[in-house]
Structure 1
């Protein structure tokens, strides 16, 4: 019996120990370490960032965001390599911070963010990330320039300082807003140029707002734009020049009504290479004085007044008082439209860059190698130049 009581007593002692252990063990939210010591519970809040800490080749276009779950942000700092803060703002309940400043290429940025969890415990996020570093940065320009007033045939031209290949993505990033409804299309003229032209001439007095938001977009082969470019300009009055070369007359129309007729001499009829070419051109430049050189035909350094360039093929509308005997009577120029001095000055004063010049009656077709050929192709052919 003594042995049985000893066993029973031992069992009771063991049972009592088990009960004590159950009553004094870790409660809800409490952990024990390996040595049986109590440890604090982890904070419930969780901080995340985009781009993530230690990210490389991070995009520069999208905003940087810092977010917290089960808590609220108390402070967020994002600093650049010079230690200057990047601008940003919190949302209403301070669960997110979003940058409002564009990031630079090939730069390192540093996070320092804190938040308080719903359990009252603070959390932190620190670290760095680096942005993409382009193989090449390409300069982008847009024409017409800000605040310009241009003619109704003026194309919008976006040009690149080097070849680009990612045409569809580039075209998607181009935006246009007009004060009047306009049907038009972008078209690629080369690996360095994309233009927009309307199906018909622009409505007079239209305001045009263009954005080439290309910064941070891969233009192809690891090349990126140096910066976004924008422009806002106005279409002026509707003025169209019409020349039927056999008539030796240059007519000027405003809103469809003829307002001026000037006698002219056009390219020599008997030599197709000297014909003034057929097609719809635009006034590209206005030059009070222009110097003409053509070694093929034996003249250099010829100064003419009131010159409006209408193509990169070499054609101008300009004064040629030296050819007064032929003006209005015969075509004998090297391709330009010759006017008497007073008429050339009168037309020059009325012209805007982008005014259309429609030429018919010649045996020479329009040049197709010019960077201003937008109106020399049909509308279906123009739309086919789009990458979308």
Structure 2
């Protein structure tokens, strides 16, 4: 018993000494880096911009991983020589996120922190109606145009959320028309065969106070062959060029005196095999109402078309007789594929360019249709 007691007593003293030494070693192994994640874990109704941040005291961040509920990572940047991390873009609305952050102190010892939070669910939202459609093949003049359902008061935030990449690479810049339309284009017409990818990441973007975007789409389209047609209103002709070579010259009629056709570069934005044209819709009262205009292709929002004309008599190639449109000879019903209008319709796609010159009118406004090519690059990029 004495032996056991003595052995036990000796063990107790040794344990005390070991405990003190072990505690010191444990403290020495613990990192002094202190990681802080904002917002706090469990937070709800978090703003989609400016709220997420990771900071560290007495150390440097080495890893920050932020994921949404689907496991998609959110890109970000470590700044301040490792002192903080912020996301590179806004967050999506009504989404749960997880954050994992690691930092090291001056001795290389790591400290980690984890957090979860949920972003706000907006009461007011906006959408962007865009053209061209995903998967389409378009002409060399086609911009990527977005019309917003609400007026935008933070254009920088919205523009930042729309990323455009091309193959081959080309600089593509955006231009605002008012506060509800944003168009993107390169300096010159697209190169044929270019593949364009648009990441329309509006979900969670606060476009105006309390109004958030609610869509995230990827849109891809391809630039087709290079077709540009030049209408000479004085000579009453249209030369159709492909890859810079004239492939067809077509007699036309343009706007008569008092109704001259716009000059300038216009982009085909709509193709209609047959449509009704009523003068009342464009401010011309009851001057005309043609219920079956064949082979019609829209050039402006205000009502300028390149279209078939079966009532024009001998005007084509001889004199200007229209109310501002560019007319090509056709037959009623558009059944004859050999007519100039039918040929033009069947050889055109959305995004092709039609240039009008020598008309007795001003140059078409850049926002009257998809016609931003009538702005200089310097004005476009202001």
Q: TM-score, normalised by structure 2?
A: 0.71
Give the corresponding residue for 1:345. Answer: 342
SS of match in other structure, 1:375: helix
Q: Which ranges of structure 1 fall in alignment gaps of 5 or more residues?
A: 1-19, 31-40, 67-77, 90-101, 112-124
- In structure 1, which of residues 359, 362, 371 is the aligned counterpart of residue 356 of structure 2? 359
Q: Kindly tell me: are residues 127 and 304 of structure 1, through their superposed partners in 2, closer, same or farther at Cα, counting changes over 3 Å?
A: closer
For 2:227 and 2:320, locate their aligned partners in 1 and report how far apart those are by CA, in whole Å.
25
SS of match in other structure, 1:381: helix
Q: Kindly tell me: are residues 319 and 197 of structure 1, through their superposed partners in 2, closer, same or farther at Cα, counting changes over 3 Å?
A: same
Give the corresponding residue for 1:318. Answer: 307
| Shift of residue 168, structure 1, vs aligned partner | 1.5
| Shift of residue 49, structure 1, vs aligned partner | 5.9
SS of match in other structure, 1:246: coil
Give the corresponding residue for 2:148. Answer: 160
**Is 1:383 equivalent to 2:377 in the alignment?**
no
Q: TM-score, normalised by structure 1?
A: 0.70
| Shift of residue 143, structure 1, vs aligned partner | 2.0
Give the corresponding residue for 1:95. Answer: none
Does the 8 Å CA contact 1:140/1:226 hold for their aligned counterparts? Answer: no
| Shift of residue 253, structure 1, vs aligned partner | 0.5
For 1:88 and 1:264, locate their aligned partners in 2 and report how far apart those are by CA, in whole Å.
55
Give the corresponding residue for 1:333. Answer: 322
- Give the aligned CA root-mean-square deviation in angstroms: 4.0
Q: Kindly tell me: are residues 109 and 376 of structure 1, through their superposed partners in 2, closer, same or farther at Cα, counting changes over 3 Å?
A: closer
- In structure 2, which of residues 179, 204, 207 is the aligned counterpart of residue 219 of structure 1? 207
Give the corresponding residue for 1:116. Answer: none
| Shift of residue 336, structure 1, vs aligned partner | 0.9
| Shift of residue 62, structure 1, vs aligned partner | 10
For 2:95 and 2:168, locate their aligned partners in 1 and report how far apart those are by CA, in whole Å.
42
For 1:57 and 1:161, locate their aligned partners in 2 and report how far apart those are by CA, in whole Å.
24
Q: Kindly tell me: are residues 180 and 105 of structure 1, through their superposed partners in 2, closer, same or farther at Cα, counting changes over 3 Å?
A: closer
Give the corresponding residue for 1:36. Answer: none
Does the 8 Å CA contact 1:276/1:364 hold for their aligned counterparts? Answer: yes
1:131-150 alignment runs, 5 A limit: 131-150=119-138
Give the corresponding residue for 2:370. Answer: 372
SS of match in other structure, 1:348: helix
SS of match in other structure, 2:345: helix
Does the 8 Å CA contact 1:150/1:354 hold for their aligned counterparts? Answer: yes
| Shift of residue 318, structure 1, vs aligned partner | 1.1
For 1:238 and 1:301, locate their aligned partners in 2 and report how far apart those are by CA, in whole Å.
32
Give the corresponding residue for 1:276. Answer: 261
Q: Kindly tell me: are residues 64 and 44 of structure 1, through their superposed partners in 2, closer, same or farther at Cα, counting changes over 3 Å?
A: farther
Give the corresponding residue for 1:99. Answer: none
Q: Kindly tell me: are residues 306 and 212 of structure 1, through their superposed partners in 2, closer, same or farther at Cα, counting changes over 3 Å?
A: same
Q: Which ranges of structure 2 fall in alignment gaps of 5 or more residues?
A: 1-11, 55-65, 74-89, 100-112, 331-338
Give the corresponding residue for 2:234. Answer: 246
Does the 8 Å CA contact 2:253/2:321 hold for their aligned counterparts? Answer: yes
- In structure 1, which of residues 280, 285, 294 is the aligned counterpart of residue 270 of structure 2? 285
| Shift of residue 160, structure 1, vs aligned partner | 1.6
What's the CA shift string for 1:310-369, capped at 9, x where partnerless?
111211111112113211111011111111111100010000101010001112113425
What's the CA shift string for 1:157-195, capped at 9, x where partnerless?
122211111112222232222112424421001211111
1:162-177 alignment runs, 5 A limit: 162-177=150-165
| Shift of residue 110, structure 1, vs aligned partner | 9.8
Give the corresponding residue for 1:119. Answer: none
For 1:310 and 1:300, locate their aligned partners in 2 and report how far apart those are by CA, in whole Å.
19
For 1:176 and 1:126, locate their aligned partners in 2 and report how far apart those are by CA, in whole Å.
34
Q: Kindly tell me: are residues 176 and 105 of structure 1, through their superposed partners in 2, closer, same or farther at Cα, counting changes over 3 Å?
A: closer
| Shift of residue 290, structure 1, vs aligned partner | 1.2
